[in-house]
């Protein structure tokens, strides 16, 4: 579930506008999905993507509808929804619009909860259907959104949706990768030394942080060496999202075996519980730094960075993006425990509490 980016309002009744907006809200172009735009009053509050169930079998549709309702209960203020079905390209189109029965079942399920299905469209290949019309023979061409005003305004604001969720691959290898790895191997298991380096980098601006890791092989090596230590890896989101002082004190207590009370804030934060509001600017910086370090990290260092990136995506409310990263780690090393735990978290449909709190949720800055 992605909270609505701060931008000019879009028309929720205009198919072209909605179709142009969705990839920017999700960060990628959805396929075989239903995307729900969740509306509070007259304001678009969040965007939710779910995999489509089997259209044929009611046994698949029933738990799917229950899953959607369960997700919407986390935003009890939502009273209306706009839906877009991205149907598989190979689906057989017969007497009904694809997934028309499912839309009807979803609308019936919404009714007792006071939720209105305001508008629903289906996209399949180059055609678009309006479910309100209900006639499979009535379609209009899939709009070319690339040159539309909504898409262009978001692109000019810096948004660039991917064709598919990024899985951590494709980062160019650094020119000084061999030097950085040689230095990394020379470092011991000095936990606090590595944390100090991470803290210094996260205290810089985004541009300064990236300049630091690329220009100083020693700095990058010290940060990578820390990723071999499980505690360093696990506290980095807390370091970015909560702050340096609390993280350092907690880490020192954990190192001397006196962290019983200290570990609860860490656990609550990593599971998205409690009252704390993440420092999104610092978490964004951790994402940028971790992404760039993939150009020099190897083996366990790389998997640690990808899990950190996945956790940040989950914290943002972008579970699909998180799963792509986690599944890549598990495809390379199936026994990587942190990736297994994160996948279990995703499989349960867990979302951080702040993702449904408009005051604390992450909002993409799209101009």
Give the number of other Cβ atoms within 10 Å of residue 309's Cβ.
22
**Parent domain of 226:** 177-356
Domain assignment present for residue 164? The answer is no
Q: Whole-angstrom Cα distance, residue 68 to residue 113?
A: 12
SS3 48: strand
Q: What is the pLDDT of residue 260?
A: 65
Give the number of other Cβ atoms within 10 Å of residue 31's Cβ.
14
Q: What is the pLDDT of residues 205-254, one digit of tens each?
A: 999 999 999 999 999 999 999 999 999 999 999 999 999 999 998 888 88
* The domain boundary residue, chosen from 156, 188, 219: 156
Give the number of other Cβ atoms within 10 Å of residue 55's Cβ.
18
Average of per-residue pLDDT across 323-352: 94
Burial of residue 69 (number of CB atoms within 10 Å: 0-12, 13-18, 19+):
middle
pTM of structure? 0.87
Residue 303 and residue 218 share a domain? yes
Residue 139 and residue 272 share a domain? no
Q: What is the pLDDT of residue 343?
A: 95
Residue 293 and residue 239 share a domain? yes
Residue 205 and residue 137 share a domain? no
Residue 336 and residue 201 share a domain? yes
Give the number of other Cβ atoms within 10 Å of residue 145's Cβ.
19
Q: What is the pLDDT of residues 94-140, one digit of tens each?
A: 788 999 999 999 999 999 999 999 999 999 999 999 999 888 889 99
Residue 65 has pLDDT above 60, yes or no: yes
Domain assignment present for residue 90? The answer is yes
Lowest-confidence region among 122-131, 146-155, 235-244, 257-266: 257-266
Domain assignment present for residue 171? The answer is no
Domain assignment present for residue 167? The answer is no
Q: What is the pLDDT of residue 244?
A: 93
* Token duo for residue 215: 């220009």
194 neighbors 248 (Cβ within 8 angstroms):
no
Residue 138 and residue 187 share a domain? no
Give the number of other Cβ atoms within 10 Å of residue 205's Cβ.
10
Rounded to a whole number, what is the largest CA-CA distance in the chain?
Answer: 71
CATH code of 112's domain: 3.40.140.10
Helix or strand (DSSP H, E) at 84: strand 80-86
Domains of the chain: total: 2
Q: What is the pLDDT of residue 367?
A: 43
Q: Measure CA 170 to chain center.
A: 18
Q: What is the pLDDT of residues 271-316, one digit of tens each?
A: 998 777 899 999 999 999 999 999 999 999 999 999 999 999 999 9
Residue 332 and residue 220 share a domain? yes
């Amino acid at each position: 579930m992605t909270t609505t980016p701060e931008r000019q309002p879009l028309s929720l009744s205009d198919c072209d506008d909605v179709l142009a907006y969705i990839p920017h809200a999700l960060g990628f172009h959805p396929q075989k999905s239903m995307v729900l735009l969740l509306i509070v009053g007259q304001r678009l509050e969040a965007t939710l993507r779910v995999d489509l169930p089997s259209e044929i079998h009611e046994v698949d549709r029933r738990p799917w509808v229950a899953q959607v309702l369960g997700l919407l209960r986390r935003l009890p203020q939502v009273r209306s929804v706009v839906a877009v079905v991205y149907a598989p390209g190979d689906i057989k189109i017969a007497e009904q619009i694809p997934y028309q029965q499912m839309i009807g079942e979803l609308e019936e399920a919404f009714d007792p909860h006071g939720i209105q299905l305001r508008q629903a469209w289906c996209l399949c290949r180059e055609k678009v259907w309006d479910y309100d019309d209900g006639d499979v023979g009535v379609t209009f061409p899939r709009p070319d959104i690339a040159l539309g005003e909504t898409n262009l305004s978001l692109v000019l604001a810096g948004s660039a949706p991917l064709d598919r969720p990024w899985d951590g691959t494709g980062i160019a290898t650094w020119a000084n990768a061999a030097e950085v790895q040689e230095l990394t191997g020379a470092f011991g298991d000095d936990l606090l030394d590595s944390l100090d380096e991470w803290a210094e980098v996260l205290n810089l601006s985004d541009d300064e942080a990236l300049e630091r890791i690329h220009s100083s092989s020693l700095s990058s090596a010290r940060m990578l060496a820390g990723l071999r230590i499980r505690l360093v890896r696990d506290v980095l989101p807390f370091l970015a999202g909560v702050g340096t002082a609390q993280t350092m004190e907690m880490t020192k207590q954990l190192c001397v075996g006196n962290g019983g009370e200290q570990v609860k804030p860490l656990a609550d934060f990593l599971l998205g519980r409690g009252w704390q509001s993440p420092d999104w600017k610092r978490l964004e910086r951790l994402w940028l730094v971790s992404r760039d370090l993939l150009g020099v990290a190897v083996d366990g260092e790389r998997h640690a960075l990808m899990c950190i990136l996945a956790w940040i995506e989950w914290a943002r409310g972008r579970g699909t993006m998180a799963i792509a990263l986690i599944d890549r780690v598990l495809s390379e090393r199936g026994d990587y425990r942190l990736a297994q735990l994160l996948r279990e978290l995703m499989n349960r449909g867990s979302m951080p509490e702040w993702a449904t709190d408009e005051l604390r949720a992450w909002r993409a800055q799209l101009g």
